[in-house]
Structure formats: structure tokens, C-alpha cells
Structure 1
């Protein structure tokens, strides 16, 4: 069940990113910058999104995929394939998954590891909520989900899970 939820969650995240970015296109008229049809997105390297909770408070959320270039007990610097480097604060609330272990810690990470990190930004400070090494191959997860759906797996929106309820 945990595997199914992880795949469904990844599918929603990948689908959600595509939908949000495609909705940002300025017009329906094809152009070199915004071709007709669904967008073809390459590997996401990093990004930022602002969310608002029920109380109206906004939170800036960041994601980054790359390689750890520097690491201490309280921070790490991750460099993405295009040369962008962000430094992330690591604390007792940072969840780490490394080498397939769900109960890993910051000490299981090392410089040179490929990671995906997610967290929040306040001002110029990014705080990691979650780090995984190696990062998930979302393209592979997307293909697995397609294969599972052919076998009768419902669309994630059809699952009766709190994360998929409107």
C-alpha cells in the first residue's frame, strides 16, 4: 500500500507541476515559446511555489535536484545541472531517506551524493524539510503508473485518500 501511495503521490505531483505550468501560458495561440498541445517538460532541476493556508498565511516552498557539493551537520549546498547552487539549513525536523533507508539521518548523506531536497524559504534562508538520495526517477515512476493503470489501477483522483480529496 505504501508503494501505491508513493506512486500515486508522485503522479499527482508530476501532473500538478505540468498543469500549473501549462496554465501559465499567456495564450492558446501556438508560438515558439508556448507550442500547441501538452507541454514537454524535461527534468525539473529546481523551483519555487508560494502556497496560502486557510488563515491566509503564505509559505514559499522550494524544491531542488542536484549534487551535494558541501555538507556540514547543519547545512548542505546542492548544485543543480545548470550550475545553480542553493544552501539548505538542516535541522532536527529534516527528514532524510538515503540508500533506501526511510530512517536515515543527515550523517548518511555525503558530498557527491545526488539528492532531491524540498523545504521552505524565508528571506534568503532555505530550510530542508525532506532530503532523498538518490532522487526518485519521476519518469520511471510515471511509466510504472501507466503500466499499473493498464492493469486496472484507478486514477489518483478516484482514490479515497485525504491527499486526493478536494
Structure 2
């Protein structure tokens, strides 16, 4: 009988860890920031990124990636917290505190929030602290959402 209780406890623990992983990974990758060749699908506004931002902010992570499965296949969701070190055309370079420097491609679909309000890419300047969410395909990271936290 003891073995059954241990087995149940281990199962509940594993289910809890799986649930936590899904809570963090799924919202970050729920929307596909890259253009789709489908002509029948109508573009829907992406409203789930702020929820993902809250989840990642709670973890205090610096940067990361997760492979997620969607209806159209597997995608590599990625995020980074750091300081803007450069902006040139559609490219935004962000450096994390651990030294990782990633260049993000932006487009007309990239949403920017500053101090909780809608903003623009042109409002971002070198030295601004940001949290970037997007997707990686090969070596290209495409930003879907950029959040500049409130200045203290």
C-alpha cells in the first residue's frame, strides 16, 4: 500500500510541473508572429502576450526559448529581457544582463507597449530596458511584442 501512495504523490508532482511548464510556455507562443501563406485565415489581434509577459516577469528570467506545438506544426517561441543597444531600420538589438546579445527583426505587426500604454518602435532608444517576445526561425528572431516597463 505504501508504494501506491508514493506512486500517486510522484504522479501528482509530475502533473504539477507539467502544468507549470504549460502555463509559462503556451501563452508566450500562442500567436504566430510570422506571416502565414494562408489566404482564408483572417488576421486576429494578438491579446495573449501581456499574459505571457506577466508569467515571465514573475520568473525573473533573462532570456529563453521553448518549442511549442500548434495546429500548423512546431514553432520556437523565444523571449529576452535586456537593454536596447541598437536600432537600425527593422532591426532591434537587445543585450541581456548575462551578456547574451540578440538582434530582433520587427515589422508592422510588432506591438510595442511603454509604461502600460500603446507605443511605437521609434519611441525605443538605446539604454531602454525592454522585454521582447517573438519567434525564432533558423537564426532570425522576429519580435511580436516589445514591452518597456514603467520607469521608476
Same fold (TM over 0.5): yes
Point out where structure 1 has 5 or more consecutive residues left out of the alignment.
1-14, 22-40, 136-166
Task: Report which of the two has the higher share of strand.
Answer: 2
Question: What pairs with 1:146-161 in structure 2 (closer than 5 Å)?
Answer: none
8 Å CA contact retained: 1:68, 1:79: yes
Does residue 75 (structure 1) correspond to residue 91 (structure 2)? The answer is yes
1:47: how far off?
0.5
Does residue 20 (structure 1) correspond to residue 21 (structure 2)? The answer is yes
Point out where structure 2 has 5 or more consecutive residues left out of the alignment.
1-15, 23-57
Query: Residue 129 of structure 2 aligns with which residue?
Result: 114
1:98: how far off?
1.5
Aligned with 1:19: secondary structure?
A: helix
Does residue 95 (structure 1) correspond to residue 111 (structure 2)? The answer is yes
The number of residues matched between the two structures is 101
1:134: how far off?
1.8
TM-align CA RMSD: 2.8
Aligned with 1:111: secondary structure?
A: coil
Does residue 129 (structure 1) correspond to residue 144 (structure 2)? The answer is yes
1:132: how far off?
0.6
TM-score, length-scaled by structure 1: 0.55
Partners in 2 of 1:42 and 1:94 — Cα distance? 24
Aligned with 1:107: secondary structure?
A: helix
TM-score, length-scaled by structure 2: 0.59
Segments ≥4 residues shifted beyond 4 Å: 15-18
Distance 1:130 1:17, change over 3 A: farther
Distance 1:51 1:113, change over 3 A: same
Cα deviation digits, residues 97-156 of structure 1 (max 9, x gap): 123322x11011111000000000000000000001027xxxxxxxxxxxxxxxxxxxxx
Partners in 1 of 2:18 and 2:60 — Cα distance? 12
